[in-house]
Structure 1
Amino acid sequence: GKPVSLRSIEISTQASRITALFWGSKKSVKHQPVDSSLGDFTLTGSETEELKENPTKGKKVSVSIISSILDVSSHEWDSCALDATGPEKFNPFLSHGFLSSLEETGCAVKETGWMPSHIIAKDESENILGVAPLYLKSHSYGEFVFDHSWADAYYSFGARYYPKFQCCVPFTPVTGPRILVRNTSFKDQVFDVIVTALKDLTAKSQVSSLHITFPSEAEWYKLKDRGFLQRIGMQYHWKNRNYKSFDEFLMDMKQSKRKNIRQERKK
């Protein structure tokens, strides 16, 4: 099958491009449970100083799948998220606290069609080098990317579209990195290892596809180079131009629009 993926880039108050990445394997039959271990990967080359000084340190990376974000410590998860975004652009929606609250409150759980299947990459010393928020979805709700026509097309050809894998932040169409890796000298290799594991998991599970929605711009291009298909949509963003009051906001509009809004607010 061919690759595809999903993502979003925000621009300004005007229409913004939404991009998404999708990768599909062969026709899905029925979701097949897989082992929690997704395999061991060896980092190639010895060009990094860390590998030159200690050829065994961090050379082997083990990737596994966990059924709850509570299976990993908040410190380790947030360290990956912080390194992926940079301290000045930390994204709270990628934090362990936010994602765990979605599970603990029953919002993003198997019973609601969001089965947590998060990806964890560790070195030989059990240090977490990268993570990815992943869910096995039985529907397309709460994603803010509309692929119902894809589901219809699958069914019209006698194939199953659900379940599918969704790498995203549930119910939150906010752009940000989705493959969260620590800032090491071999972070690009860890990124590739996680992407390979995601694609292998999709194929072994016999689900229709893997979607990565609202990733960062850098990931958008990286994932295209790694076999994902790109999809672009449209989104509108409102930006606060330092308005001191609602009336000041209305003054940016034509008189007719101001009048209509004020009348609506009086009802």
Structure 2
Amino acid sequence: MTDQDQRLTLTTAESMAEIAPEAWNALAGPDNPFPSHAFLHALETSGSVSERTGWLPRHLLLSTADGRLIGAVPLYLKAHSWGEYVFDQAWARAYEQAGGAYYPKLQAAVPFTPVPGPRLLAGNGPDAPAIRRTLAEGLAAVAGSLDVSGVHVTFLAPEDVAPLAMAGFMARHDVQFHWHNRGYGSFDDFLAALSARKRKMIRKEREKVRDSGLVFRALSGADITPAAWDAFHRFYRATVDRKWGEAYLTRSFFDRLGETMADRVVLIMAYDGDRPVAGALNLVGKDTLYGRNWGAVVDLPFLHFETCYYQAMEVAIDRGLARVEAGAQGGHKLLRGYEPVTTRSAHWLADPRLAHAVKDFLDRERAAVDAEAEALGEHLPFRRDQTSAE
């Protein structure tokens, strides 16, 4: 960076409304919908991200001397560890038993969204690597100024890994399951790539759902009516209630999503006649369909697999998308053609004693997770003459 560029200022913003959408989006890029200004703003304006849910925005902004925004991080002050999908509650308990205060902490993430993507937002210009390094160092500085126990950056893009490591962040690995479209012209082409036993299993699962009489439609853009959002919100609440979770996403969040990002939404809905009975919310990126939330008000065998996985594959094939990312956890996805992929997070802790203990744990955990991912890769359902993704 030039001498002039080095005269930079780090500040924090307490809402996306304080930040110009075009400036933020120029840094976040168009490929992944979740770090976009519209998505993060929808979370805030709908009350999904708020004091009520324990996510307080403290977005990190890096500006030049003339006020031009050149870097940013979606950042939140938190007093709990819910809604993150990278679990550190055991660290919190151990530290508090030793007399420390683990909360509040800072979380650099897209709330309630276990989707890998950029966190150190720097655009794609020649100065982007240097800006990411500055943002990584700035996160630790902001943690000191806010007197928090640490900073946790979750579901990183590959370009974020090195600058965070250089700034002293500790690496953590986990495994998700993503489906890869290898140029399939149809769902039957995908099935043909599977072993006979797995191909038969999936066909039977889909037949069970078809025999129920349900009809599926993939809605996008203006086809997503307020009535469709009403139905999907009911499904979402029903699923959360069954799992004893907390419904972070408010009804108005879905309205806001429909108003500002409908063309990037694929809402897969299942109908029993004219009555919607199940649905899955997906967002579209440059080359990926991202599955997010789902729900149903009926209990049918394999309905979850059909709505969330098989219908998503068909959308990806129809649109020529390279991948379907179906969210966190779920080893059952492996049997249905979703392959293990390593996801990454990075953690900085202010207390050197806690940091030493966590580093020792993470060193051992990473080795175990990487071994697990490799082992899972040996049990893919494809025929032996098919090539799996790395």
Q: TM-score, normalised by structure 2?
A: 0.48
Deviations 1:136-157 (A, max 9, x none): 1122222111222222222222
Q: Which residue of 2 aligns with 1:179?
A: 120
Amino acid across the alignment from 1:173: P
Q: Which residue of 2 aligns with 1:231?
A: 172
Amino acid across the alignment from 1:120: L
By how many angstroms is 1:175 displaced? Answer: 1.3
By how many angstroms is 1:257 displaced? Answer: 5.7
- Which sections of structure 1, spanning at least 5 residues, go unmatched? 1-47
**Structure number having the greater helix percentage:** 2
Matched position secondary structure for 1:112: coil
Cα distance in 2 between the residues matched to 1:191 and 1:262 = 49
By how many angstroms is 1:240 displaced? Answer: 5.1
Which of 24, 41, 48 is the aligned partner of 1:77?
24
Would you say 1:259 and 2:207 are equivalent positions? no
Cα 1:264/1:150, change in 2 over 3 Å: farther
Cα distance in 2 between the residues matched to 1:243 and 1:163 = 50
Amino acid across the alignment from 2:8: V
Matched position secondary structure for 1:110: coil
User: Which of 1 and 2 has higher RCO (CA within 8 Å, sep 6+)?
Assistant: 1
Does the 8 A contact of 1:110 with 1:116 survive in 2?
Answer: no
Cα distance in 1 between the residues matched to 2:35 and 2:177 = 22
By how many angstroms is 1:92 displaced? Answer: 1.2
By how many angstroms is 1:197 displaced? Answer: 1.9
Cα distance in 2 between the residues matched to 1:185 and 1:243 = 38
Cα distance in 1 between the residues matched to 2:204 and 2:133 = 55
Does the 8 A contact of 1:168 with 1:212 survive in 2?
Answer: yes
Matched position secondary structure for 1:172: coil
Alignment of 1:35-46 (within 5 A): none
What is the root-mean-square deviation in Å for CA atoms of aligned residues? 2.5
Does the 8 A contact of 2:132 with 2:160 survive in 1?
Answer: no
Cα 1:204/1:185, change in 2 over 3 Å: same
Deviations 1:223-264 (A, max 9, x none): 11221111112222234564745x776674243564356447
Alignment of 1:179-218 (within 5 A): 179-218=120-159
Matched position secondary structure for 1:63: strand
Would you say 1:154 and 2:101 are equivalent positions? no
Amino acid across the alignment from 2:200: Q
Q: Which residue of 2 aligns with 1:63?
A: 10
Matched position secondary structure for 1:80: helix
By how many angstroms is 1:106 displaced? Answer: 0.7
Would you say 1:170 and 2:115 are equivalent positions? no
Cα distance in 1 between the residues matched to 2:174 and 2:5 = 39
Q: Which residue of 2 aligns with 1:99?
A: 40
Which of 129, 139, 162 is the aligned partner of 2:70?
129
Q: Which residue of 1 aligns with 2:51?
A: 110
Which of 139, 162, 168 is the aligned partner of 2:80?
139
Cα 1:159/1:259, change in 2 over 3 Å: same
Cα 1:217/1:188, change in 2 over 3 Å: closer
Does the 8 A contact of 2:132 with 2:163 survive in 1?
Answer: no
Cα distance in 2 between the residues matched to 1:77 and 1:191 = 15
Deviations 1:176-198 (A, max 9, x none): 12111144544333323222221
Q: Which residue of 2 aligns with 1:222?
A: 163
Amino acid across the alignment from 1:112: T
Percent of pairs with identical residues:
36
Does the 8 A contact of 2:109 with 2:155 survive in 1?
Answer: yes
Matched position secondary structure for 2:173: strand
Cα distance in 2 between the residues matched to 1:121 and 1:185 = 16
Cα distance in 1 between the residues matched to 2:204 and 2:134 = 57
Cα distance in 1 between the residues matched to 2:178 and 2:104 = 31
Q: TM-score, normalised by structure 1?
A: 0.69
By how many angstroms is 1:174 displaced? Answer: 1.5
